[in-house]
Amino acid sequence: MRVVIGEDLFLLRDGLVRLLTAHGFEIAAAVGTAPELLTALTELKPDVSIVDVRMPPSHTDDGLRVAIEARRVVPGLPVLVLSQYVEQLYAAELLADRAGGVGYLLKDRVFSDAAFAQAVRDVAAGGTVLDPEVVARLMARRTRSGPLAALTPREREVLALMAEGRSNAAIAARLFITDKGVAKHAAGIFARLGLALSDDDNRRVLAVLAYLNG
């Protein structure tokens, strides 16, 4: 699996390269500035990319803008955005094209290397992986109004874990219920949110989006 890494801090970039190599990824390019990153993403079209939000030249949200721009040029290009902070605004912008293959995680999540590698694979496969911090803050807000008000508390828990990019098995383990139970809750969520039967991954993405925009 070919990966492009955009990270301006050498130590972190180097660490990411080693971590991903150790987990069997192939590093197509590892760059330190936004313009280089845009070139690498649009020309190499990697299977997945890891992008830092704050990058040169302006050291603001250059990385994020590059990620969004690259996904405009190459629709559905899987991007996992890393940052020292997670902001709802940026999460909403990343998910706005509803194409899936998006991740948005705090940099510290790299510490759990196996989980991080799994998140990269999920994004590459078209899933949506949101940082628990984003999800927690969404949870605080979205229970009062909007379509999510129709969900049961349990369904909301399941949806929150889905938004974090967890598989049915992982959700089952976390909530101490069976895989079948998770599938039942998921079906309930899709039904209540009015998501027609289609491929499961896409419905999961749409459910998360409903969650975000709720």
Partner 1 sequence: MKTLGDFSAGYLPRIRASWPAVLLPLVAFGTLGLTASTWPELIIALALIITVVAPRESARIAPYALFAYGVYGLYLMHSLLINEANSVTYGFVHAWWRPVQSGVNWYTVGSRWNQWVLTEAVACLVAGVCLLARRQALGSGPVRRAVAQLRGTGGQPKTVPPLLLIGAIFLWEELFGQDLWFGTPWQPGFTPMMLVAILIFAAGVAAVVWLPRAAAVLAVVGIVLIGLIGVLSGVQPGYLPVGPWSGYTIGFYGAVPLGGGTDRVFAGLEGVALVAVGCVLGRRLLTWSADFELAERARALSQRVDGLTRTRSEAAETAVAELRRIERDLHDGAQARLVAVGMSLRAVEQLMGTNPEAALALVAEARETSSRALEDLRDLVRGIYPPVLADRGLAEAVRNLALDAVLDVDVNVDLPGEPPMPVAAAVYFAVAEALTNAVRHAGARTVQVGLEHAGGMLRATVADDGRGGADASRGSGLAGVERRLGTFDGILTVSSPAGGPTIVAIEVPCALSSVKISSC
Q: Considering beta carbons, is residue 70 or 171 the nearer one to partner 1?
A: 70
Q: Considering beta carbons, is residue 142 or 204 the nearer one to partner 1?
A: 142
Instruction: Please list, in sequence order, all residues whose beta carbon lies within 8 angstroms of the beta carbon of residue 133, skipping any fewer than 6 positions away.
Output: 86, 106
DSSP 1: -
Minimum distance, C-beta of residue 145 to partner 1, in the bound complex (Å): 6
Q: Which H, E and C letters describe 142-206, residue by residue?
A: HCCCCHHHHCCHHHHHHHHHHHCCCCHHHHHHHHCCCHHHHHHHHHHHHHHCCCCCCCHHHHHHH
Whether the CB-CB separation of 90 and 120 falls below 8 Å is answered with no
Minimum distance, C-beta of residue 201 to partner 1, in the bound complex (Å): 25
Minimum distance, C-beta of residue 125 to partner 1, in the bound complex (Å): 26
Minimum distance, C-beta of residue 9 to partner 1, in the bound complex (Å): 14
Q: Considering beta carbons, is residue 67 or 182 the nearer one to partner 1?
A: 67
Rounded to a whole number of angstroms, the distance between the first and last alpha carbons of the chain is 35
Judge residue 93's burial from the number of C-beta atoms within 10 Å of its C-beta, 0-12 exposed, 13-18 middle, 19 or more buried: middle
Which positions lie near partner 1, rule CB under 8 A? 34-35, 38, 53-54, 57-58, 60-62, 65-66, 69, 84-85, 87-90, 92, 106-108, 111, 137, 140-141, 144-145
Minimum distance, C-beta of residue 88 to partner 1, in the bound complex (Å): 4
| CA pair distance 139, 51, nearest whole angstrom | 26
Q: Considering beta carbons, is residue 79 or 172 the nearer one to partner 1?
A: 79
Q: Considering beta carbons, is residue 108 or 179 the nearer one to partner 1?
A: 108
